[in-house]
Amino acid sequence: MTSTIFERLRSGGFEQVLFHQDARTGLRSLVVLHDTTLGPALGGVRMHAYASETAALEDGLRLARAMTLKAAAAGLDLGGGWSVVLGDPARDKTEALLRAHGRFVATLGGRFIPVNDVGTTQADLKVIGTEAAPVCADGDPSPMTALGVLEGIRACLRATGGDGGLRGVRVCVQGVGNVGAALARLLAAQDAELLVSDVDPGRADAVARSVGARVVDPAAAALTACDVLAPCALGGVVDDRTLPRLRCRIIAGGANNVLAAPEHAAALEARGVLYAPDFCVNAGGLVFLEERLRHHDDARTEQRVRQVGERVATVIEHARRTGVPPTAAALTLARARLSSH
């Protein structure tokens, strides 16, 4: 078993995985450091009631690797990592548990910079920050993630023969939490034809009313006829079941790990669906966090976030020039930056 784990870490390029338990608070958590070549690893603190400890580890590994690629592709001086706390945030999260996790993070001496994620809030990060530094608890990155996605969608529209305008473009926003709701507002301001879905019907209805959108069943959202499918919830949207039934021409959203398996990138290409690699198009929030860490002003931050569209356009152009799917092109560009340091 041990050799299998180490082989997984070696083959995936992971630097370190640390496990921690605190008997007094009941904390069970882990931190994954994937790659710190470009700088300290920034990543989320995800609290979730995983089906198993193995599932928690797999999620941490997957998310940490994606963060490395996202930072590299966005041209940031940050590495990739992730933190996972096992437990139900509604039942198990306490100030004492968060502080215990903060003490664990502090042992890394700044090599891991945490930010809130699924199951944690900025208020939670401030509690963690009483024990560890630095942490990212200054401002919500969701609006900047959404702004980057908007610019990425524009780049995809241009790459498919449009002028980047959104008037009359049908966009299905799948998941209207913080990022999805912000994206829906940005799209509505550009006169896009909006469809929204969410597993929380009340949240979907509220966002739909505020932006003039139509609500669609979350179980069918990925298969809805639209110009752009914008996944903004959990990953794995494109899988063996959904892929042959997709009715969109562009996929670009705020979710991580949209493809359930790497081979789905080529399958989308074969079907004529343009996929903006998630770790490129949803990098706006990460750009925002780096700007906050460096104490830059809002105008500079917005300017850098809008460059997400330029990077997506570069990836698409490179993919077409080299005859590979955009995901492969994005990986090549990100790895080239990592190997140059």
Domain(s) labelled CATH 3.40.50.10860 in the chain stretch across 2-68+78-128
Helix (H) or strand (E) holding 214: strand 214-215
Residue 112 has pLDDT above 80, yes or no: yes
Domain(s) labelled CATH 3.40.50.720 in the chain stretch across 142-339
Residue 72 has pLDDT above 90, yes or no: yes
Per-residue pLDDT, averaged over 88-113, amounts to 97
Q: What is the pLDDT of residue 66?
A: 87
Q: What is the pLDDT of residue 1?
A: 43
The CATH code for residues 142-339 is 3.40.50.720
What are the pLDDT digits (tens) for 257-288? 899 999 999 999 999 999 999 999 999 999 99
The candidate with the shortest Cα–Cα distance to 277, out of 243, 244, 324, is 324
Instruction: Report the predicted TM-score, pTM, of the whole model to 2 decimal places.
Output: 0.86
In whole angstroms, give the CA distance from residue 269 to residue 38: 31
Residue 304 has pLDDT above 50, yes or no: yes
What are the pLDDT digits (tens) for 46-61? 999 999 999 999 999 9
Per-residue pLDDT, averaged over 204-225, amounts to 96
| CATH superfamily ID and name for 2-68+78-128 | Leucine Dehydrogenase, chain A, domain 1 (3.40.50.10860)
Helices H, strands E: what count in the chain?
14, 11
The model's confidence at residue 340, banded by pLDDT at 50, 70 and 90, is confident
Count other Cβ atoms within 10 Å, centred on residue 169. 21
Q: What is the pLDDT of residue 3?
A: 57
User: Which backbone phi and psi does 28 adopt, to 5 degrees?
Assistant: -130, 115
Residue corresponding to tokens 């079907």: 271
Peptide bond into 134 cis (omega under 30): yes
